[in-house]
């Protein structure tokens, strides 16, 4: 079965959105948003995430969850809220786009309704991308500001980028690409629908009854202004 370009765009958008949503969920859970290496003890590494802070010392990891949400820095507070909102938007976008795709067939499901579902799902995936990229970039910006802060003595260790930030940027890019593919597929469906309407139905030619004057059997065109 050959797929059209619109169907390929829909499937590609769904796969990219699913990959971005999974990466976004993993980014939220991982504690490696910030890392801190101590020069006095090179075997000890501190890592901080949205939910807990951990200490890795000689391959032994000890984690402690944050006791209060209000005790977190402002960038981590906003990041926690936006990342959770991103998961909800991404999941809802996946469901709507799945119901609006050509792979899902439902009795009496009109194409116009499916196109709007796909368009709405793509918009939600793009919103999920924004709510993922913003907190990750904000934490990265705050980390850079603290790292180059001249008011902090040089002997004090500085926080650096963790692996979760790079995974979060990748998740935001995947969600953005998936949303754009879904929106593009919905626009392609709109163009095909308008072209079919402009073409209009074809009128079959009129034929007169067969001429039986001879042994041959053939049809002769009937004039349109002939009335019986």
pLDDT, averaged across the chain: 81
Instruction: Compute CA distances 130 → 9, 24, 179, 180, 228, whole Å.
Output: 21, 12, 11, 13, 70
In contact, 168 and 24? CB cutoff 8 Å: yes
pTM here is: 0.77
Strands 34-37 and 52-57, sheet pairing: unpaired
pLDDT, tens only, 36-94: 887 666 678 899 999 999 998 877 889 999 988 888 889 899 999 999 999 999 999 99
Confidence of residue 104 (pLDDT cuts 50, 70, 90): low
Q: Locate all alpha helices (DSSP H) within the chain, ordered by sequence.
A: 5-29, 74-100, 111-147, 163-199
Burial class (CB in 10 A: 0-12, 13-18, 19+), 75: middle
Close Cβ partners of 39 (under 8 Å, ≥ 6 residues apart): 157
Report which of residues 94 and 99 the model is more confident about: 94
- The pLDDT of residue 7: 82
**Residue 3 pLDDT exceeds 70:** no
Does residue 226 carry a pLDDT above 50?
Answer: no
* Cα 162 to Cα 42, 63, 83, 85, 167, distances in angstroms: 17, 16, 17, 22, 9
The residue among 94 and 107 whose pLDDT is bigger is 94
Predicted confidence at residue 51, as pLDDT, reads 93
Say yes or no to pLDDT of 35 above 60. yes
Is a pLDDT exceeding 90 seen at residue 8? no
What is the pLDDT, as a whole number, of residue 227? 45
Q: Structure tokens of 184?
A: 């593009």
Average the pLDDT over each of 38-42, 166-170, 176-180 and give the range with the smallest value.
38-42
- The pLDDT of 134-138, averaged and rounded, is 95
- Indicate the pairing of strand 160-161 with strand 60-65: unpaired
> Would you state the pLDDT for residue 44?
82
Whole-number Å distance between alpha carbons of 158 and 145: 10
| Mean pLDDT confidence for 30-40 | 85
What gap in Å lies between CA 45 and CA 197, rounded to an integer?
65
Beta-carbon-side half-sphere exposure of residue 219 (alpha carbons within 13 Å): 8
Query: Is residue 225 over pLDDT 60?
Result: no
pLDDT at res. 130: 96
Give me the pLDDT at residue 40, please: 65
């Amino acid at each position: 079965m050959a797929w059209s370009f619109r169907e390929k765009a829909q499937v590609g958008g769904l796969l990219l959105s699913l990959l971005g949503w999974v990466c976004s969920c993993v980014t939220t859970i991982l504690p490696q948003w910030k890392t801190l290496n101590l020069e006095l003890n090179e075997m000890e590494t501190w890592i901080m995430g949205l939910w807990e802070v951990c200490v890795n010392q000689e391959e032994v990891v000890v984690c402690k969850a944050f006791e209060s949400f209000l005790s977190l820095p402002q960038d981590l507070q906003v990041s926690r809220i936006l990342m959770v909102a991103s998961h909800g938007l991404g999941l809802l976008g996946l469901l709507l786009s799945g119901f609006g795709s050509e792979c899902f067939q439902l009795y009496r499901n009109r194409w116009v309704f499916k196109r709007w579902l796909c368009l709405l799902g793509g918009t939600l995936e793009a919103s999920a991308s924004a709510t993922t990229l913003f907190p990750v970039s904000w934490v990265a910006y705050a980390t850079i500001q603290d790292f180059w802060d001249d008011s902090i003595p040089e002997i004090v260790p500085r926080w650096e980028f963790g692996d979760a930030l790079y995974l979060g940027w990748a998740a935001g890019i995947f969600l953005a690409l998936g949303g754009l593919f879904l929106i593009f597929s919905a626009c392609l469906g709109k163009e095909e629908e308008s072209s079919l309407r402009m073409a209009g139905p074809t009128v079959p030619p009129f034929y007169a009854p067969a001429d039986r004057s001879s042994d041959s059997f053939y049809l002769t065109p009937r004039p349109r202004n002939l009335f019986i």
